[in-house]
Amino acid sequence: MSTLDNILEEIDKANSIVILTHENPDGDAIGTGLALYNALKQYGKNPDIIIPEYPRTFEFLPGAEEIKKESNIEKYDLAISVDCATIKMLNGFSNYFENATVKVSIDHHSTNTMFGDLNYVSPDAPACAQILLVVLEYFKIEITKEIGTCILTGIITDTGGFKYSSVTAETFEFVAWLLNRGVNVSKIYRKVLQIKTRANFELSRIAADRLEFYEDGKVAFTYITEEDMEKVNAENGDHEGIVEMGRDIEGVEVSIFLRQTDKGCKVSMRSNEYVNVSDVCILLGGGGHIHAAGATMQCTIEQAKEKILRQVKAVI
């Protein structure tokens, strides 16, 4: 019996199911989570999806209005984690996962620690949403326009609009398949990648003014503070995409973006060709993909900057 057969067997047995994803969820995490949520409802289950905070950019996704911030159920029959490499990244709600009778991880991070009882992990996939499409097809669950919209959102966001090297021929085959089912590719692309909030624009301008270069222009560094966020009335997610600013500059291999929070600094790192930023972020207590990774550091911006630049200098 395959892993997917075992997962489907546990879904069939479970009376209570919870879907979880990583902290500071991106479009792939939210899209995959909601696609699974809608699919399990269609399958006849009544799952919960718990995401404490997520960017308002994704409020248009089918089922988003049913996302819970927390639950009064202490022990679920089945917990399914999507797009999450380690248990400590589970949105601060790892208790729902750990307390569940059966634990499942569906993911595409090469750094996944296989923390579930059942793990379906495919590091070759450019997005977790692409894996879920395969999973739902295997389960013979119909991919409706609503489910497809969530899946495509995950694929578009985690591939940067199909521009990253992780994109495969299969990715475009899946997109064509979804397009034929009425999923509006251009509308989703515009909503998640092109339209910016006013706060995001203002934060980007502040970050651009602070942009610094190191290692002969191979490293770009910038940051925003809590004060910056307050000044422009920023909401959760309004900082998204700022890290790309440095990566898109000629000659830059690694782009570093720090966001100050009440708990320290959130680190986002991107690379273009040869630096594995996941390895760098693992040393900082985080992780991710070869060309896109992050971490949380309990220190000031200056302290974080010094530590990160030291690690990056060693691999640049």
Q: Give the DSSP letter string of 117-173.
A: SEEEE-TTSS-HHHHHHHHHHHTT----HHHHHHHHHHHHHHTTTTTSTT--HHHHH
- Mention every residue, 6+ apart, whose C-beta is less than 8 A from residue 203: 224, 228, 229, 232, 234, 238, 239, 242
In Å, how far are 137, 159, 238 from 301, measured between CA atoms? 45, 29, 19
User: Which residue bears the tokens 């990566």?
Assistant: 247
The per-residue pLDDT for 93 is 79
Computed over every residue of the chain, the mean pLDDT equals 95
pLDDT digits (tens, 9 = 90+) for 26-46: 999 999 999 999 999 999 999
Distance in angstroms (rounded) separating the CA atoms of residues 20 and 4: 18
For 10-46, the DSSP string reads: HHHH-SSEEEEE-SS--HHHHHHHHHHHHHHHHTT--
pLDDT digits (tens, 9 = 90+) for 131-170: 999 999 999 999 999 999 999 999 999 999 998 888 999 9
Asked whether 192 and 58 are in contact (CB, 8 A), the reply is yes
Percent of the chain at pLDDT exceeding 70: 99
Neighbouring CB atoms inside 10 A of 7's CB total 24
Give 227's Cβ-side CA count (13 Å radius).
2
In the chain, alpha helices (H):
3-13, 27-42, 94-99, 128-138, 145-158, 169-179, 185-189, 198-210, 226-231, 242-247, 277-283, 301-313
pLDDT digits (tens, 9 = 90+) for 200-236: 999 999 999 999 999 999 999 999 999 999 999 999 8
The per-residue pLDDT for 6 is 98
In Å, how far are 115, 258, 289, 291 from 189, measured between CA atoms? 33, 26, 22, 21
Distance in angstroms (rounded) separating the CA atoms of residues 176 and 226: 42
The per-residue pLDDT for 91 is 66
Distance in angstroms (rounded) separating the CA atoms of residues 179 and 111: 32
- Domains, the chain, in order of start with CATH, read 3-193 (3.90.1640.10), 198-313 (3.10.310.30)
List the structure tokens of 120.
Answer: 């379906």
